[in-house]
Amino acid sequence: MKGLIIKDIMCLRKQLTVFAFILVGVLAVSVMYVLSASFGNLAEVAKELQNEKNNLSARDVKNIATEALILFMLLPAATVCDMVFVFASDAKAGFVKVAATLPVPLWKRLLAKYMTVFALFGIGAAVDIAIAGVLCALGNILTFGEFLGIIISATSAMCIYSAFVILWCVVLGSGSEQYAQLLSIASLIALFVIGYFGALKNFFMALLTDNPDSLSEILGGPIEYIKDRGGVFLIAAAAVCACTYFAALKIADRKRGVI
């Protein structure tokens, strides 16, 4: 199984190269952003926005700054792993034709792909946490605990997406990786809508109201939701990964172990 994990990681070597470049860029841009938002031009802009008559409170301005910072922070983890490339590389190399003949049980071959997901997203999360520590030392946009909650939530969501990719690639078979990717995105959106229907309803209701306070809810609601529910996202990711693993294992077994 160790060899299969290494093989999958080698299929993602181009993504790992991109990850290294993005990591350097994100660290540099994030540091400059935090310093500017705390002491430089962005801090002055924030003060001007609060002084103008546009219903923006200090919380609203902070949420805008936080949303921009989060986009930077999540880039390393988002680029480190996409299992579609693994399945596409296997299909291109003809690996699927010989996979069933390997002296490795089917459950281990499938588990190797999940272990690849966990390993690479774990690396991405660790890098984000390290960057968060640097940013917390330089500024006060977010506390380290808030950074940690956001990183856990986002990494868990990407693990869920990758689990769906593995499942749909097994279901559709070799050569259907693009369709598997689209179905995985649709599955992730559907799961989020079902699990957080109440929160989404409140969000859109706030969007449609004319109450000035609704702007604060629109800007701050999603951030607070992700920031405070890292544990919930982590449990959901573990449950989805387990369910998709056993479902994919059963389907692959019916296909005589061709994955």
pTM over 0.75: yes
Q: What is the pLDDT of residue 15?
A: 78
Supply the mean pLDDT for the chain. Answer: 79
CB 132 within 8 A of CB 209: no
pLDDT-derived band at 217 (thresholds 50, 70, 90) equals low
pLDDT-derived band at 183 (thresholds 50, 70, 90) equals very high
- The rounded distance, in Å, linking the Cα atoms of 231 and 31 is 27
Could you give the C-alpha distances from 218 to 60, 67, 68, 118, 213, in angstroms and in order? 9, 12, 15, 32, 9
Average pLDDT over residues 12-26: 81
**Residue 103 pLDDT > 90:** no
CB 159 within 8 A of CB 244: no
Chain center to CA of 150: 10
Q: What is the pLDDT of residue 141?
A: 75
What type of residue sits at position 155? T
pLDDT-derived band at 248 (thresholds 50, 70, 90) equals very high
**Residue 211 pLDDT > 60:** no
